[in-house]
Amino acid sequence: MQENLDIFLPGRSNCCHVDQIPFNEGDEIVSFLDDELNRIDCCKDCWGKKTNKGKIFWKWIIPKKKTKIPPPDFQALEYFKNYCEEEDLSSLKKRFILAMYLERKKQMVLRKKDKKTHTLYFEILSSGQISVVKEVAIFPQEADEILSELVACLKE
Ligand SMILES: [Zn+2]
């Protein structure tokens, strides 16, 4: 995954980055990205006291084991990753639409939105990886076309 390093960031950890205390169900966690875009997870108590505050951060709760997480849709996720290496507008649009699709399918969750740079930070729930998606302007009709095209590809 070396080539995706700038887009796919490492997954979540099982313990606090600062005090190394393991996370438990129901714990409140703060995750943030450092200047090199490394994902760092720490407990609520360590956040801001023993860490440098990252600009991009989000809070979340360790889900209970009973919580149903949909099984990963590997095909759609793989498809999404395929668009990560392309930087042309058409690929950016497909990537954005796929991100919305995967969010709706509960495969990814939006953790942070940077309004200044129009950048969205999604977490892939099955792996904890953070994926950076550019928010691009798409006309509704165009979005429908792209989505039906993508869905057709996914059914193949
Ligand atoms: Zn801690």
Task: Identify whether residues 54 and 98 lie together within a single domain.
Answer: no
85 C-alpha to ligand 1 centroid (Å): 35
Task: Identify whether residues 141 and 99 lie together within a single domain.
Answer: yes
Task: Identify whether residues 91 and 141 lie together within a single domain.
Answer: yes
Domain that holds residue 123: 74-155
125 C-alpha to ligand 1 centroid (Å): 22
Task: Identify whether residues 135 and 79 lie together within a single domain.
Answer: yes
Spell out the per-residue pLDDT of the chain, length 156, in tens: 333 333 455 678 889 999 999 999 899 999 988 877 788 899 999 997 777 766 789 999 987 877 677 788 888 888 888 887 778 898 899 999 999 999 999 999 999 999 999 999 999 988 888 899 999 999 999 999 988 988 888 877
Give ∠ CA 12-37-62 in degrees, rounded to 5. 20
Q: Are the C-beta atoms of residues 15 and 45 closer than 8 Å to each other?
A: no
51 C-alpha to ligand 1 centroid (Å): 9
Task: Identify whether residues 48 and 78 lie together within a single domain.
Answer: no
How many structural domains are present in the chain? 2
